[in-house]
Chain A
């Protein structure tokens, strides 16, 4: 009932706060790296729906952790290492695709073939 009590606080629906948080996050994410990654991953993939769901769930979970854990998130996982791992992964994906005469495998065929 947390959600309901939040939603109906002061006896009226909190459309304004909902719209504010939507707009803030939407504008922050527009053209950001995770959206670029979603463009690239779905351009490559045979299953864009899986990319869409994977991206959505990952983003929602990341922000859920932000809400629940708060400032402690950086203590659970050191941010620089997490981001460094992601950077390495994306760099490998990029180099694999751009490298001349590489095996022309896509992200998905690599995952499937292993």
Chain B
């Protein structure tokens, strides 16, 4: 009988982290604290913060409306939803990889300025949506 059956399950944070985080820890020297051991609690708090921020930002957004319209038009809601879901996961992945690329290339001070500016751009974009009646 092989051993793995008896192994205790790993914490979620550790088992999934190896997918994206591991390769970049080696290359990003300016992120001194990124090699610190991550607890599942950290993972969950980052997950929760991100989830709430993105969910609020996208709620009632044009993507939600586009999916709604395509669903109503096609009468094949599950297929439209599947296509949309795959696309959203793909754009998220591209975004996160770009963010990792930036984090690896820029000094910590410059990274903070760039990231801070992006946050302000996102905030303005949201305000613009409200103003233009989205």
Contacts and interface: CB of A to CB of B under 8 A. Distances in A.
A22 B96 contact: no
Nearest to B74: A17
Q: How large is the interface on A (under 10, 10 to 19, 20 to 34, 35 or more residues)?
A: 35 or more
Interface of B: 13, 16-17, 19-21, 24, 31, 33-34, 36, 38, 41-68, 70-72, 74, 76-96, 98-100, 102-103, 111-127, 129-130, 134
Interface of A: 2-3, 6-7, 9, 14, 17-26, 28-30, 32-67, 70-71, 73-74, 77, 79-80, 82-91, 93-98, 104, 107-108, 111-112
B45 A112 contact: yes
A89 B59 CA distance: 15
B99 A42 contact: yes
Which of B20, B46, B89, B103 is most buried by chain A, counting CB atoms within 10 A of its CB?
Answer: B46
Contacts of B115: 40, 43-44, 97
